[in-house]
Amino acid sequence: MPTPCSADRTLWDFAGIDGLQVARHLFGEQIAHISPFQSLTTTLQGRPCAVLRLCEHNFRVALPQDLELDQLIHPLHQRVWIARSPYLAALTLPVEQGLSWLYQRATTKPLHRLQPLPGDRAVPARLDGIAVLIWHHSWLGQLRLELHTSTVDLPLVQARVAESGIGADKQAIAP
């Protein structure tokens, strides 16, 4: 069963009036060309980085745990908030089995589609009534399928994954 810690990455969220400007500064102009719920894989200070655009000025960033995104953003003096939310957790599922299972179990609201879910895409969904964000992206050269949920719902999501028999990695991301 996954545990709420990760040895290879952590999630940061940042948003605000200057969110896109900060993202451009950190990740380059290419970040301005992706739509909400699209992501890109890049580097930040020579380290692996995956950036998900959640809305116009709101981003989720996966980084190695030893890279402190807030220390890179605060000196910019921009109008953004940044945090590793204590309420956010993520599980990594095997990509093919996970997608097949999610296509059968997860539901989305109109305008969002789960199937197909190509790489560098995310979709908000419900898994047996539990709010999740499903993110399919690359990390360290490998495709990843992550379920992001609240820490309150994490045990329920872990139980659903365990019941499915597909397994999840032995670690869950939690700040």
Q: Tens digit of pLDDT for each residue in 13-33?
A: 999 999 999 999 999 999 999
The answer to whether position 60 is within a domain reads: yes
59 and 116 belong to one structural domain:
no
Res 165: pLDDT: 85
Q: Tens digit of pLDDT for each residue in 54-70?
A: 999 999 999 998 899 99
* 91 CB-near residues (< 8 Å, 6+ apart): 2, 146, 147, 149, 154, 157, 158, 161, 168, 169, 172, 173
Domain that holds residue 92: 88-173
Q: What is the CATH number of the domain that holds 158?
A: 3.30.70
The answer to whether position 55 is within a domain reads: yes
56 and 92 belong to one structural domain:
no
Burial of 83 from C-beta contacts in 10 A (0-12 / 13-18 / 19+):
middle
Among the three residues 27, 60, 83, which one is the final residue of a domain in this structure? 83
Q: Tens digit of pLDDT for each residue in 31-54?
A: 999 999 999 999 999 999 999 999
Residue with tokens 């296509």: 103
Report how far residue 101's alpha carbon sits from residue 159's, in angstroms, rounded to the nearest whole number: 14
The answer to whether position 5 is within a domain reads: no
The answer to whether position 121 is within a domain reads: yes
Domain count, the chain: 2
